[in-house]
């Protein structure tokens, strides 16, 4: 499985990101950014996370965003500024990744709590029978589905979908 890692961040860059967002990121997520500054699945590789809350039983995964990246479509702060207002009814949301098709992964930062949600922004699963969303859309933003209770658990789901590939670069 082909995974691209970005250049690591230092603590001052994390502090700058937190200042811009207006809240503190969980330590496990800060550590991930310091080590990798985000990841991308390189095509033709792909990742589907097993997820029983949607009809077909899986959701796609392509990117965990980084900070201060040249490619602003994969940058946490750029994405937050571009579409974050659509989910501003949530407490301390940070858009941390994407499925590759316009749906995002959102982490709600409450101290060291870091629930991760799949944001069905494009309404891909809107027609699914027996919807099992956890946060109902406001306006037309799309429902959010709890994927994991921690960022670490979310990383494990991604790793499992990639055949156990580690989400941090080898030393």
Q: pTM for this structure?
A: 0.94
Q: Is the dihedral of CA 121, 122, 126, 132 positive or negative?
A: negative
Cα–Cα nearest to 169, from 83, 78, 66, 25: 66
Domains of the chain, start order: 3-161 (3.40.1580.10)
3-state secondary structure of 47: strand
3-state helix, strand and coil shares in percent for the chain, rounded to the nearest 5: 25, 25, 45
Tens of pLDDT along the chain (171 residues) come to: 588 888 889 999 999 999 999 999 999 999 999 999 999 998 877 899 999 888 888 999 999 999 999 999 999 999 999 999 999 999 999 999 999 999 999 999 987 778 999 999 999 988 877 778 899 999 999 999 999 999 999 999 999 988 887 777 665
CB 39 within 8 A of CB 4: yes
């Amino acid at each position: 499985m082909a995974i691209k890692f970005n250049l690591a961040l230092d603590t001052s860059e994390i502090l700058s990101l937190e200042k811009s967002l207006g809240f503190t990121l969980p330590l496990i997520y800060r550590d991930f950014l310091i080590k990798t500054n985000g990841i991308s699945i390189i095509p033709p590789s792909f990742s589907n996370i097993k997820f029983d809350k949607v009809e077909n039983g899986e959701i796609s995964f392509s990117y965990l965003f980084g900070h201060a990246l040249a490619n602003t479509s994969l940058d946490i702060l750029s994405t937050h500024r571009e579409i974050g207002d659509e989910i501003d009814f949530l407490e301390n949301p940070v858009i941390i990744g994407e499925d590759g098709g316009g749906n995002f992964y959102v982490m709600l930062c409450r101290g060291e709590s870091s629930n991760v949600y799949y944001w069905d922004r494009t309404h891909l699963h809107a027609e699914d029978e027996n919807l099992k969303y956890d946060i109902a859309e406001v306006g037309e933003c799309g429902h959010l589905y709890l994927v994991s209770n921690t960022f670490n658990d979310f990383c494990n789901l991604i790793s499992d979908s990639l055949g156990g590939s580690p989400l941090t670069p080898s030393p």
